[in-house]
Chains A and B, each alone.
Chain A
Amino acid sequence: MSYAYLFKYIIIGDTGVGKSCLLLQFTDKRFQPVHDLTIGVEFGARMITIDNKPIKLQIWDTAGQESFRSITRSYYRGAAGALLVYDITRRETFNHLASWLEDARQHANANMTVMLIGNKCDLAHRRAVSTEEGEQFAKENGLIFMEASAKTAQNVEEAFISTAGTIYKKIQDGVFDVSNESYGIKVGYGGTAGPSGGRDGAPAQGGACCS
Chain B
Amino acid sequence: MHEPDIHDLSDDADYAAASKQGSSSMSRTDSSKRSSSSDPEDAEIVYLKDNVTIHPTQYATERISGRLKLIKQGSSLFMTWIPYKGQSSNARLSERDKNLYTIRAIPFSDIQSIRRHTPTIGWQYVIVVLSSGLAYPPLYFYSGGVREFLATIKQHVLIARSSEDANVFLVNNFQDPLQRTLSSLELPRSLAKGSPSSSFKGTPSDERLDKGTLEDNQLSNNIQQNNRQRQKNHDPARDISIQVLEKFSLVTRFARETTSQLFRESLVDGHGPAEKRRNNWASKDHQRQEIASNDVDDDVPKRVPVASDPLEFEKLSLVWGQPRQHPLGLEEWSTFLDSEGRVGDPNALKKRIFYGGVEHNLRKEVWGFLLGYYSYDSTYAERQYVVSVKKSEYETIKNQWQSISPEQAKRFTKFRERRGLIEKDVVRTDRSLSFYDGDDNPNVRLMHDILLTYSFYNFDLGYCQGMSDLLSPILFIMKDESEAFWCFVSLLERLGPNFNRDQNGMHSQLFALSKLVELLDAPLHNYFKQNDCLNYFFCFRWILIQFKREFEYEKTLRLWEVLWTHYPTEHLHLYVCIAILKRHRVKIMGEQMDFDTLLKFINELSGQIDLDPVLRDAEALCVCAGENGAASIPPGTPPSLPLQDGSIYQQQDDEVL
Contact = CB atoms under 8 A, between A and B. Distances in A.
A157 interface: no
B163 A39 contact: no
Given A102-B163, A102-B164, A107-B175, A41 B603 contact: yes
B431 interface: yes
A34 B428 contact: yes
Interface stretch (A22-30, A60-68, A115-123): A60-68
Nearest to B507: A70
Contacts of A70: 502-503
B408 interface: no
B199 A109 contact: yes
Nearest to B430: A36
**Range of interface residues on A (Cβ < 8 Å):** 35 or more
Contact of A78 (B173, B430, B501, B596): B596
**Range of interface residues on B (Cβ < 8 Å):** 35 or more
Given A15-B421, A39-B545, A99-B164, A71 B600 contact: no
A98 to B, nearest CB: 10
A169 to B, nearest CB: 21
Contacts of B421: 15-16, 65
Interface in B422-446: 424-425, 427-432
A211 interface: yes
Nearest to A66: B501
Interface in A127-169: none
A37 B540 contact: no
A103 B503 contact: no
B395 interface: no
B419 interface: no
Interface in A24-50: 34-37, 39-43
B346 interface: no
B431 A34 contact: yes
B321 interface: no
Contacts of A210: 597
B603 A43 contact: yes
Interface string B204-218: 100000000000010
Contact of B544 (A36, A40, A42, A177): A40
B361 interface: no
A68 to B, nearest CB: 7
Contact of A15 (B432, B465, B468): B465
Nearest to A181: B221
22 contacts: A8-B596, A15-B424, A34-B428, A34-B431, A37-B424, A37-B425, A37-B468, A40-B544, A43-B600, A43-B604, A63-B465, A67-B500, A67-B501, A67-B503, A70-B502, A71-B540, A74-B133, A99-B164, A107-B175, A181-B221, A205-B220, A205-B221
Which 8 A-B pairs give the minimum distances between C-beta atoms?
A37-B428, A40-B541, A182-B199, A16-B424, A65-B465, A34-B431, A39-B541, A40-B540
